[in-house]
A and B are shown apart, each in its own frame.
Chain A
Amino acid sequence: MSTNSATLWLRPFIARPIALAGLGVLLATVLAAAFAPWLAPYDPYAIDPLIRLTPPNVTHWFGTDQFGRDTLSRTIQSARMALLIGSGVVVFALATGVPAGVLSALFPRLGHLLMRMVDVLMAFPTLLLALGLIVILGPSVANVILAIGLGYMTTTTRIVYGLTLRLRAETYVEASRSMGAGTVWLISRHILPNLVSPLLVQASFVFAFAQLGAASLDFLGLGAPPEIPSWGNMLAESRTFITRAPWLLIFPGMMIVATAFSLNLVGDALRDRLDPRFRQVFGEKG
């Protein structure tokens, strides 16, 4: 990308300071995840029964949990799981939803079949679908990604389908086709490039909802294995200590809220700079 298009992408953020702040929070989360071992003051797995359930203090800024593990270090370490699950869900939803949506719009017969299947899958509430899949597949990080991703594959397919139908009716696409352009040419030259911006919007919303979904699964004990620190797991483990050690739930919870909120802000800012004809394809649900 040239610098010109880079400034074009940054424009909605410069005009809206709060969205810029959201972008900053996300950047900080990525950095925290990347440099977790250097940033964390203690080993996130180190157990010390002597200092269990200490409130926040000078040596342990966020306090310690029921095993005497440092909450700050675990909160930083958990950023990795959050980004892994979030990006995994986004990649899965796009990698399946984009081809399904584009092909459905270009080949009506296939589209009829696929969109009916999407309808059926959408009759299951997202979290319920994820729960069911986790039961079949067993709880692991990859399965959490798959289980949550399936729910967003359907919404992505629908959005891509709607957008491609609109694009296909554009005069320049019709012109290109009448000059003998093949399907592959149409998809790669006219459809995919136009889908990039709306998909970026969709990606940020899916990323946000994946955070919340994964946290819910963790909380129910059906998410990522409990030995891996994640914000949801931290909340699930310290739930019983809420009256004795309320600080244990504040920090991981705030991180979930901060990332989800930032992603929503970024998604919103990007949506507002979208082509108005595309905007209405996005419901408030994202």
Chain B
Amino acid sequence: MTLLAASVIIFAFIHIVPGDPIYVLLGDTATPDQIDALRHQLGLDQPIILQYLNWAGHVLEGDLGRSIFFQAPVLSVIADGAETSTLLATMTMIWVAVIGVPIGMIAAVRHGTWLDQGLSGAAMLMASIPTFWVGLYLILIFAAWLGWFPSSGYPSIFEGGVVNLRYLVLPSLALAAPNAALILRLTRASMLDVSREDYVRTARAKGIRPWQVVRRHIWRNALLAVVSAFGFTFAALLSEAVVTETVFALPGIGRLVVQSILRRDYPVIQGVILVIVVVYLLVNLMVDLSYRLLDPRVELQ
């Protein structure tokens, strides 16, 4: 339902845009006949509703149309960028999980101490830094000065092997910084919430070792909120990747959107936004389903 409405918006969006792709394709020298012929060939002369139904019908068959710029199916254009973006997202989420969650737990356990205040403050600072600025300085320090990592681009791991993952180290770190900060704060907050529960006090009163209380009583129950935070972190990540991929010149879906906007390549913009929205909704669905796994009390409707 949400997806249907979203697809109408995506379709409508692109068609109110000023700037006719026909002129972009043919240039200023085109004759009116050429323009009409191409318009007809691309189906742009049909009523808008028909164009939508046409588009939606093809989408359901897995056909997202043809890119005006690449002269290739949109699906294959997106698939070319999918490898980079998927790996970037995965690496970023790994950083977020290994940095954000444990540090958040430490801050919660040491609640109220200078360590907690320092870590929480640092997290808020990280969340206030634009990702592209972090990215630019990572390039300057680790690529230009130290030469540890490549500064831009990404050749496929299927061609150059797993070592090519080093191209994604700096971009994923830049992208992870604000999101890890968010997860850190959320892990801390939800663990503190749980630790005020009666059963935690009971467990402590029974003389269970402190770290056992944290592990078995607090952490297990705080996990639910952390998992759902991963859902919206992933969503934030999808749009922040647009900027990061541009900074590091990565051939991913995010940069494809920006370039397609500048080229007025409607079918590609539509396709990418649709794919991102679908991925986002799927991730949220998976988050909802995982609740059931983590907490048997949750009933699925």
Contact = CB atoms under 8 A, between A and B. Distances in A.
**A joins B in a complex:** yes
Interface of A: 18, 116-117, 119-120, 123-128, 131-132, 135-136, 138, 208, 212, 215-216, 219-220, 222, 235, 239, 242-243, 246, 249, 253, 256-257, 260-261, 263-265, 268, 284-285
B236 A125 contact: yes
Contacts of B133: 215, 235, 249, 253, 256-257
A257 B129 contact: yes
B128 A212 contact: yes
A131 B239 CA distance: 10
25 contacts: A117-B5, A123-B6, A123-B277, A123-B280, A125-B239, A125-B280, A126-B239, A127-B242, A127-B243, A128-B239, A131-B258, A135-B269, A136-B13, A212-B128, A216-B130, A216-B243, A222-B261, A242-B140, A243-B140, A243-B144, A257-B128, A260-B128, A261-B124, A284-B229, A285-B232
A135 B128 contact: no
B144 to A, nearest CB: 5
B238 A264 contact: no
Given A125-B239, A126-B239, A120 B9 contact: yes
A278 to B, nearest CB: 15
Contacts of A216: 130-132, 240, 243
B16 interface: yes
Contacts of A246: 140
Contact of B238 (A119, A125, A208, A285): A125
B66 interface: no
A25 B236 CA distance: 27
B273 A132 contact: yes
A123 B124 contact: no
Interface string B222-249: 0000000100100110111011001000
Given A135-B17, A284-B182, 18 more contacts: A124-B9, A124-B273, A125-B235, A125-B236, A127-B243, A128-B273, A135-B14, A136-B13, A208-B128, A216-B132, A219-B132, A220-B243, A220-B258, A249-B137, A256-B130, A264-B124, A264-B127, A284-B229
A147 B182 CA distance: 24
Interface string B86-127: 000000000000000000000000000000000001001101
Contacts of A116: 5
B276 A242 contact: no
B273 A264 contact: no
Contacts of A284: 182, 185-186, 189, 229
A246 B3 CA distance: 45
